Structure 1
Amino acid sequence: MTTGMPSGSIDKALTVLEALAEHSRLTDIAAASGLPKSTVHRILQSLIGWGFAFADGNGGYLPGPRILTLAGRVMSRFDPAQHARAALRDLRDRTGMTVHFAIRSGDEVVYVDKIEGRRPYQMKSRVGRAVPLHTTAIGKAVLAHLSAAETAGIIARAGLTAITPRSITDPGVLRRQLAAAAANGYAIDDGENDAEIGCIGAAVFDHTANVLGGISISALSFDLDLSSEALVTEVIGAARAVSLALGAPPARLDQAG
């Protein structure tokens, strides 16, 4: 939504359309949009004509079917990695470390983008690779935002297989780490998926306010201080930027933080 009073006709129409997503009464839409009721009524009639709104017969208004049609067309072409790229590149430039973006796929996360760090070595990870949730910083950040029942189901189905000697195989230990990740806004992988690699990750949310996946920074363990407040702040900030780029409601991000 635009900041301040919308001035142009397109700004006004978009402001009303956005308000329509959360309100149905003319008075409430006017209040949310900051426009006079007469202006809102006129815009709503135009939106109805275009199929972007309809009158519910009880004095209220609802989003119209054309919004769903348009949303479906847009989502069929929507590439989360493209929308996240600028924030991922900025995170790499600010930390110098390899950055990953992964999306949850069932009981795993799949890397959908990777930007190599500015170190004299490279990570062996690759786009398209699926990795366990419980051994990765991104995976644990995702688990931290699932319900206890859903997490229990994943543990029951996938198990807590040891990938390295440092992998967490005790459900109680994992749950304590997930509680800390939920409270702090980030998770770590301390040699749990690759004995020589450390990672700091944070969850990414989609336009429905559900956890989609996460981003992380990775480096050789001796080269990454997992307790660095500065690095944690960078990762959390980048995850928020990616979430916003994917349409996540800011209020949901404030709750997650």
Structure 2
Amino acid sequence: MTTGMPSGSIDKALTVLEALAEHSRLTDIAAASGLPKSTVHRILQSLLGWGFAVADGNGGYLPGPRILTLAGRVMSRFDPAQHARAALRDLRDRTGMTVHFAIRSGDEIVYVDKIEGRRPYQMKSRVGMGVPLHTTAIGKAVLSQLTPAETAEIIDRAGLTAVTRRSITDPAVLRRQLDEAQAHGFAIDDGENDAGISCIGAPVFDHTASVMGGISISALSFEMDLDSEALAAEVISAARAVSVALGAPAADSDTEQAG
């Protein structure tokens, strides 16, 4: 939503449309939009005519079917990787490390974008590759946003198979790491998915403020300081930027994390 009092007619209409997503009564929409009731009423009449609003039969208003139609058309062309690309490239440039963007798919994450780091080597990961949740920084960042019951179901279903000798196979140890990740806003992978490779990852949220995946930076373990607050802050900041680019409510995706 625009900050301050919307001035232009388009700004006012969009402000009312956003308020309509959470409120139905004219008085509440006016309060949320910061506009006079007369202005809001006039805009609502236009939205009714366009099908972007409908009367609820009780003197209020609801989002109309035209919104769903438009949203469906937009989502059919929506490419998360494309919208995240600028933030991913900036993270690579700021850290020099390989950056991954992955989305949860069932009991694993799938890489949807990868930007190689400014290093004389390349990671074996590739776009389209699926990897376990429990062995990756992105996967653990995702798990940290689920309830303990949801995580337990995933563990029961998928197991905690060791991918390297450093993979976590004890549910209690994983739970402790997830609690830390939830508290600090990022997770780590210390050679648990690819021997000799370490990662720092943070969760990415969708337009419903639900976790959908995450991003990470990766490098050879001797080059990666997993205790670096500066690196963690870079990843968290980039993950917030990606979340906002994908439609996450700014208030949720920008919630300050400890650490």
Class of the TM-score when normalised by the shorter of the 2 chains:
over 0.9
Distance across 1 between alignment mates of 2:200 and 2:148 = 22
Secondary structure of the structure 2 residue equivalent to 1:104: strand
1:59, distance to aligned residue in structure 2 (A): 1.4
CA shift in 2, pair 1:144/1:206, >3 Å: same
1:73 partner amino acid: R
Deviations 1:104-129 (A, max 9, x none): 00000000000000011111110000
Residue 151 of structure 2 corresponds to residue 117 of structure 1 = no
| 2-structure distance, mates of 1:183, 1:159 | 24
* 3-state secondary structure, aligned to 1:198: strand
CA–CA distance in structure 1, aligned partners of residues 241 and 94 of structure 2: 14
Instruction: Provide the secondary structure at the position in 1 that maps to 2:101.
Output: strand
Aligned position for 1:224 = 224
Check whether the contact 1:136–1:189 (CA below 8 A) recurs between aligned residues. Answer: yes
Q: CA deviation at 1:253?
A: 2.0
Query: 1:221: how far off?
Result: 0.3
Summarize the alignment of residues 17-96 of structure 1 with structure 2, pairs less than 5 Å apart. Answer: 17-96=17-96
How many aligned residue pairs are there? 257
Out of 24-33 and 232-241, give the one that drifted further: 24-33
In the alignment, which residue of structure 2 is the partner of 1:105? 105
In the alignment, the residues of structure 1 paired with residue 253 and residue 213 of structure 2 have an alpha-carbon distance, to the nearest angstrom, of 14
Residues 150-195 of structure 1: CA distance to partner in whole angstroms, max 9, x if unpaired?
A: 1111101110000000000000000010000000000000000011
Give the TM-score of the pair, scaled to structure 1.
Answer: 0.98
Separation in 2 of the partners of 1:180 and 1:199? 16
**Matched residue type, 1:58:** N
The answer to whether the 8 A contact 2:240-2:254 is kept is no
User: What SS does structure 1 have at the residue aligned with 2:179?
Assistant: helix
Q: Equivalent residue of 1:110, what SS?
A: strand
> Residue 208 of structure 2 corresponds to which residue in structure 1?
208
CA distance in structure 1 between the aligned counterparts of 2:251 and 2:213, rounded to whole angstroms:
18
Q: Which amino acid aligns with 1:154?
A: I
Alignment check: 8 A CA contact 1:144 1:182 kept = yes
User: Counterpart of 1:128 in 2: which secondary structure?
Assistant: coil
What letter corresponds to residue 92 of structure 1 in structure 2? R
Distance 2:139 2:31 in 1: 41
Q: Deviations over 1:81-138 (max 9, x none)?
A: 0000000000000000000000000000000000000011111110000000000000
Query: Partners of 2:224 and 2:6 in 1: how far apart?
Result: 46
Q: Secondary structure at the match of 2:163?
A: coil
User: Structure 2: which 5+ runs fail to align?
Assistant: none
Deviations along 1:50-103, whole A, 9 cap, x unmatched?
000011111111100111111111111111000000000000000000000000
Identity %: 86
- 1:34-54: CA deviations, max 9, x gaps? 111100000000000000001
Aligned partner letter, 1:55 = A
| Residue matched to 1:249 | 249
> Cα 1:256–1:182, aligned 2, differ >3 Å: closer, same or farther?
farther
Question: Residues of 2 paired with 1:15 and 1:198: CA distance?
Answer: 44
SS of the residue corresponding to residue 199 of structure 1 reads strand
- Kept in 2, the 8 Å contact 1:182–1:256? The answer is no
How far residue 251 of structure 1 moved from its aligned partner, in angstroms, is 2.3
Offset at residue 255 of structure 1 (A) = 4.6
Deviation of the 1:256 alpha carbon: 7.4
- Matched to 2:153, the amino acid is G
Over the aligned positions, Cα root-mean-square deviation in angstroms equals 0.9
Equivalent-residue separation in structure 1 for 2:126 and 2:30 (angstroms): 49
1:141–1:121 distance in 2 versus 1, CA, 3 Å: same
- 1:234 aligned onto 2:201: no
- Structure 1 segments, 4+ long, off by >4 Å, are none
Normalising by structure 2, what TM-score?
Answer: 0.98
Cα deviations across residues 8-35 of structure 1 (Å, max 9, x unaligned)?
1111101100010011111111111111
Corresponding residue for 2:175?
175
